[in-house]
Amino acid sequence: MAKKLTLERKQSIVGWGFLLPASLLIFIFCFYPMLQAVLLSFKRGNNAAERWVGFANYTRLFKDKVFLECLFNTVFYFVIQVPIMLVLALILAQMLNSPDVKCKGIFRTMIFLPCATSLVSYSMIFKSLFASNGFINTMLGWINIAPIDWFNRTWPARIVIIIALVWRWTGYNMVFYLAGLQNIDGSIYEAATIDGCNAFQKLTKMTIPLLKPTILLTAIMSTSGTLQLFDESVNLTGGGPGKATMTLAHYIYSTTFENTPNFNYAAAISVFILICISILSFIQMKVGDKRD
């Protein structure tokens, strides 16, 4: 006679039963395409004419001037935009968590709203703001600065993308920090005030250490998002002037759909981005997570 299942065993079977459909869908639509992309990156040709070429697509990357320019652009956005965005998000969260600020709900909504704005809409707004006769150049004229051709010069175009990214995603990260701050016991700050700590000391000695897990999370998400940056490059500047603002993700799209399709080379670039994100995330985890 078969032994009866224990309650723990039954719960385990039911749990796996709920997990199995989701796990299959994740494997079919995420992990299987990733595996196919990795295999594709080691080949050349299409369909029946495909042949195994090893690391030839990867060695080609560092001889491709367009790829190197796109890599520089992506790294530049990452190095400049991510620290500015996270620091600004933390400062805004600290300000809007203060009990002395009135109408906090309105300010929080206004700062978060850009994240929910349609990409096409906000791209059109930024194109209008930074046009030759747009509002930004008009303001520069008020202080006797010559108008800047933002979208037809390399560095101004890159600056526009950084400004757009900071405007769009600062509020998103602020929400994470705000949630973390609201989980910190207010008595800690009261004790610090009694001990004579100023606002800067509270931020650096208390808030940042207590928010370290949240900061680590937002840093990893921002790293992944920036290295896969696509929308602003396509909709805001079109990758121009020339390839001066094109990102790696935009180059993948161009290689796959706009130029003569080269799925193998595009897959190699995709795997390169995946490796970079994995390495940077690992470094951030090692540096930021000091738990035993």
Per-residue pLDDT of the chain (292 residues), as tens digits, is 445 678 788 888 888 889 999 999 999 998 999 999 999 999 887 766 778 888 999 999 999 999 999 999 999 999 999 999 999 999 999 888 877 778 888 888 899 998 888 888 888 889 999 998 889 999 999 999 899 999 999 999 999 999 999 999 999 999 999 999 888 887 888 888 888 888 788 888 888 888 888 999 999 999 999 999 998 899 899 898 889 999 999 999 999 888 778 889 999 999 999 999 999 988 888 876 665 4
155: which DSSP letter?
Answer: H
51: which DSSP letter?
Answer: E
Largest CA distance in the chain: 93
- CB count within 10 Å of CB 46 equals 11
What's the confidence (pLDDT) of residue 45?
78
How many residues would you count in the chain? 292
Kindly report whether the peptide bond that precedes residue 213 is cis, defined as omega within 30 degrees of 0: no
143 Cβ contact list (under 8 Å, min separation 6): none
What's the number of CA atoms in the CB half-sphere (13 Å) around residue 125? 11
- The angle subtended at Cα 87 by Cα 100 and Cα 130, nearest 5°, is 100
What's the confidence (pLDDT) of residue 70?
95
49: which DSSP letter?
Answer: G
For residue 161, the one-letter residue type is: I
Sign of CA dihedral 202, 82, 223, 90: positive
The per-residue pLDDT for range 137-193, each reduced to its tens digit, is: 999 999 998 999 999 999 999 999 999 999 999 999 999 999 998 888 878 888 888
What's the confidence (pLDDT) of residue 160?
94
Residue of 175, 177, 134 whose CA lies nearest to 156? 134
What's the confidence (pLDDT) of residue 130?
93
